[in-house]
């Protein structure tokens, strides 16, 4: 099985063999979480950075009256809490959406690696910036798009992100969400998500059965979504150039 963490970071920069080795050694401490289990809970500050190696996790916030909102997905190669590298605080929880294999990386180790290898440092920077760009897009997605557009947009985003780590087959991929999860992600009720999905299916844009999502017409779907993938790409800014 490929090392998705290395693959993901290698997507931002060009890692040397040494860099890859360093990263693999950093990610030795691996744990399984079963579906629906909390990997990180808002109450307890972790001392390590978690990265998903296999399966899906989500970051979510919960109000004291029970309402919940999913603020991010962590797919293979994604970090769940990079902020821990430089801060002691975390203000969301992380939950396994499938059985998930997570590497727990010593934050001191990451800082050392960043000091020793400028390329690794840059990879972490770009990864953090990419996460922030996605978060901004999600804010706007919920804030200004209709139900149909929101869901279409999310589906488009994920296909690109899954492609980046080689987890797609053409325009189809495993989307291990319930419709309730999807609702908590895009700010819609489960019932309305269901109807909107039927609408997208009836328009011949997608198929989605048994966790398997297939985009029938990416071009049309991204037009429906007003999807512009540029926020998912980050060009390397050569440190020597101003």
Which residues of this protein are in contact with DNA, per CB under 7 A? 146-148, 178-180, 183, 187-192, 194-198, 210
Question: Which tokens hold the place of 14?
Answer: 């060009």
Return all residues near 46 (Cβ < 8 A) that are at least 6 apart: 40, 81, 84, 90, 104
Q: Of 3, 7, 20, 111, which one interacts with a second copy (CB under 8 A)?
A: 111
User: In this structure, are residues 140 and 56 in contact, taking their beta carbons and an 8 Å threshold?
Assistant: no
CA distances from 223 to 4, 18, 28, 50 (A): 30, 42, 42, 35
Q: Of 72, 160, 203, 218, which one interacts with a second copy (CB under 8 A)?
A: 72
Using CB under 8 A as the binding rule, whether residue 219 contacts a second copy is answered as no
Using CB under 8 A as the binding rule, whether residue 133 contacts a second copy is answered as yes
User: Rounded to whole angstroms, how far apart are CA atoms 151 and 181?
Assistant: 12
* CA-based torsion, 69, 75, 80, 86: positive or negative: negative
Using CB under 8 A as the binding rule, whether residue 40 contacts a second copy is answered as no
Partner interacting with residue 233 (select from DNA, a second copy, none; CB below 5-8 Å by kind):
a second copy
In the complex with DNA, the residue whose CB is nearer, 108 or 146, is 146
CA distances from 112 to 22, 58, 121, 174, 238 (A): 10, 28, 9, 36, 21
Using CB under 8 A as the binding rule, whether residue 37 contacts a second copy is answered as no
In the complex with DNA, the residue whose CB is nearer, 110 or 158, is 158
In the complex with a second copy, the residue whose CB is nearer, 210 or 240, is 240
In the complex with a second copy, the residue whose CB is nearer, 90 or 167, is 90
User: Rounded to whole angstroms, how far apart are CA atoms 225 and 88?
Assistant: 37
User: Rounded to whole angstroms, how far apart are CA atoms 192 and 179?
Assistant: 9
Least distance to DNA, CB of residue 140, Å? 14
- Number of residues forming the site for a second copy (CB under 8 A): 55
Using CB under 8 A as the binding rule, whether residue 142 contacts a second copy is answered as yes
Partner interacting with residue 190 (select from DNA, a second copy, none; CB below 5-8 Å by kind):
DNA
Using CB under 8 A as the binding rule, whether residue 237 contacts a second copy is answered as yes
* Among candidate residues 97, 112, 113, 101, the one with its CA nearest the CA of residue 76: 101
In the complex with a second copy, the residue whose CB is nearer, 59 or 96, is 59
Q: Residue 73 pairs with which residues in a beta bridge?
A: 58
Q: CA 138, 139, 140, 143: dihedral to nearest 10 degrees?
A: 120
φ and ψ of 118, to 5 deg: -60, -30
In the complex with a second copy, the residue whose CB is nearer, 54 or 137, is 137
Q: Which residues bind a second copy (CB under 8 A)?
A: 47, 59, 61, 63-65, 67-69, 71-72, 83-89, 91-92, 106-108, 111, 122, 125-126, 128-129, 131-133, 135-140, 142-144, 184-187, 226, 230-231, 233-237, 239, 242
């Amino acid at each position: 099985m490929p090392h998705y963490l290395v693959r993901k970071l290698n997507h931002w920069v060009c890692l040397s063999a040494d860099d890859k080795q360093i990263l693999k050694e950093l990610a030795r401490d691996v744990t399984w979480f079963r579906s629906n289990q909390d990997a990180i809970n808002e109450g307890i500050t972790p001392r390590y950075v978690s990265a998903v190696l296999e399966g899906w996790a989500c970051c979510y916030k919960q109000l004291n009256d029970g309402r919940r909102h999913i603020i991010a997905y962590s797919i293979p190669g994604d970090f769940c809490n990079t902020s821990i590298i430089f801060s002691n605080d975390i203000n969301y929880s992380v939950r396994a959406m499938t059985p998930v294999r997570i590497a727990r990386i010593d934050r001191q180790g990451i800082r050392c690696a960043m000091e020793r290898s400028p390329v690794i440092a840059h990879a972490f920077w770009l990864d953090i910036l990419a996460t922030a760009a996605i978060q901004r897009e999600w804010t706007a997605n919920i804030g200004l798009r209709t139900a149909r557009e929101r869901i279409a947009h999310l589906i488009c985003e994920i296909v690109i992100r899954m492609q980046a780590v080689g987890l797609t087959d053409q325009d189809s991929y495993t989307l291990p969400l319930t419709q309730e999860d999807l609702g908590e992600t895009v700010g819609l009720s489960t019932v309305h998500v269901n109807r909107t999905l039927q609408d997208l299916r009836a328009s011949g844009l997608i198929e989605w059965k048994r966790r398997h999502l297939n985009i029938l017409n990416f071009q049309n779907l991204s037009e429906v979504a007003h999807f512009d993938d540029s926020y998912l790409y980050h060009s390397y800014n050569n440190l020597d150039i101003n």
